Amino acid sequence: MWGVMRALRGEQRVVVRRMRMPRIQIADVGLRNERVGMGQDEIERNMGVQPLDGIMTEHELGNHALVAASTEPMTHKAVQRARNGRRLTKHMKQRMADALNLLLKQQCVEIERPFGVKDLFTY
């Protein structure tokens, strides 16, 4: 279907035709957050609640405390994703571990050894 717009420019009449774009429907594929297709391989993104969440809950730490203690850029969203088990880069996981160790040290919490990435994440 064609829609027609008319406008006057000075004494000239200009006619511009617009084509109506077809609507695109996206099929519902169920739980889209569960798996993302990357070529032939499928990567699972949701890994479930991580040990980081248990440690932070045990010491009554919120996301803001970890963000504030971090010496490198970190967002509240990144901390929430880490606690919920969304995939993070190796670098961001290391930032989380460093920030948690620094925060616990600032709060004078005694731990046997500093937490490593393998202690905080199951993937």
Specify the pLDDT at position 117.
96
Strands 35-38 and 41-44: antiparallel
User: Quick one: CA torsion of 118, 121, 67, 70, rounded to 10 degrees?
Assistant: 10
Q: Output the pTM of the full model.
A: 0.65
pLDDT in tens, the chain (123 residues): 444 445 545 555 656 566 665 655 555 444 445 455 555 567 788 889 999 999 999 999 999 999 999 999 999 999 999 999 999 999 999 999 999 999 999 999 999 999 999 999 998
Domain boundaries along the sequence of the chain: 47-120
In angstroms, the CA 6 to CA 68 distance is 58
Specify the pLDDT at position 10.
55
In angstroms, the CA 61 to CA 53 distance is 9
Specify the pLDDT at position 29.
47
